[in-house]
């Protein structure tokens, strides 16, 4: 063990995380190009969806200074990364698969504009249900929290998903299901995250 280097310790992102990771939200413009919550352009393949929600603390109060990142496969179920060698599925050069969003300082609502991902092969060759990986940081969070959002209209795939099935408390699995809503012409998945308490979201050690 001695020869391995220890991972640098995590620390909270703090209340001013926006300065570094989303300066326009902090109230000033500095970089020509910014990373944001829109993952698509007009050429991206796949069904357009919005993912939106709030993060709540243990008292049920919305966390208004949270920053989230999502990471997901493209519409065919392939990640835009060289370690994904599912060669039979096309890469989409108009889809990085990653985005960054912050909650609104008043309402606590955050939102991503993306596409619905296809199913990705899991360990042992079994398909995982379509899902979006999320990472959450904020003041008071000492180490980033990882979770996944699955889709309410993928019940059969969710039933067979190897990660959902790892959660032995069946009642907790539903904390990972984004609820599909139709809002005008827009498809929205509502995904509220509860950091603590009765409806506590499942968080993973990746």
Interface positions, 123-142, toward another protein (CB under 8 A)? 123-125, 128, 131, 133, 135, 137-142
CB of 126 to another protein, least distance (A): 9
3-state secondary structure of 202: coil
Is the CB of 100 or the CB of 180 nearer to another protein? Answer: 100
Is the CB of 145 or the CB of 177 nearer to another protein? Answer: 145
Q: How does DSSP assign 3-58, residue by residue?
A: TSPPPPPP----TTHHHHH-HHHHT----SS---SB---TT--S-EEEEEEEEE-T
CA–CA gap between residue 21 and residue 163 (Å, rounded): 30
3-state secondary structure of 166: helix
Regarding 115 and contact with another protein (CB under 8 A), the answer is: no
Residues of this chain, 40-99, that bind another protein according to CB under 8 A: 57-59, 61, 63, 65, 69, 71, 73, 79-86, 96-98
Regarding 12 and contact with another protein (CB under 8 A), the answer is: yes
Regarding 119 and contact with another protein (CB under 8 A), the answer is: no
Looking only at the bridges linking them, the beta strands covering 48-56 and 67-71 are unpaired
Residue of 11, 41, 42, 87 that binds another protein (CB under 8 A)? 11
Select from 25, 24, 49, 53 the least CA-distant residue to 38: 49
Regarding 192 and contact with another protein (CB under 8 A), the answer is: no
Is the CB of 48 or the CB of 81 nearer to another protein? Answer: 81
Terminal-to-terminal C-alpha distance of the chain? 21
């Amino acid at each position: 063990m001695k020869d391995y280097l220890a991972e640098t310790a995590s620390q909270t992102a703090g209340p001013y995380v926006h300065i570094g990771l989303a300066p326009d939200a902090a109230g000033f413009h500095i970089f020509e190009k910014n990373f944001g919550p829109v993952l698509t352009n007009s050429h991206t393949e796949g069904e357009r969806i919005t993912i939106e929600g709030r993060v709540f603390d243990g008292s049920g109060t919305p966390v208004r200074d949270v920053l989230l990142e999502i990471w997901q496969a493209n519409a065919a179920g392939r990640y835009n990364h060289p370690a994904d060698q599912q060669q039979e599925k096309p890469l989409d050069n108009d889809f990085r698969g990653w985005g960054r969003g912050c909650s609104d300082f008043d309402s606590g609502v955050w939102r991503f504009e993306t596409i619905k991902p296809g199913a990705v092969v899991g360990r042992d060759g079994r398909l995982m249900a379509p899902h979006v990986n999320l990472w959450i940081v904020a003041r008071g969070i000492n180490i980033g929290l990882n979770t996944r959002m699955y889709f309410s209209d993928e019940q059969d795939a969710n039933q067979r998903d190897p990660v959902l099935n790892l959660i032995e408390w069946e009642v907790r699995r539903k904390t990972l299901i984004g609820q599909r809503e139709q809002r005008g012409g827009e498809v929205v998945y509502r995904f509220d995250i509860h950091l603590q308490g009765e409806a506590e979201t499942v968080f993973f050690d990746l």
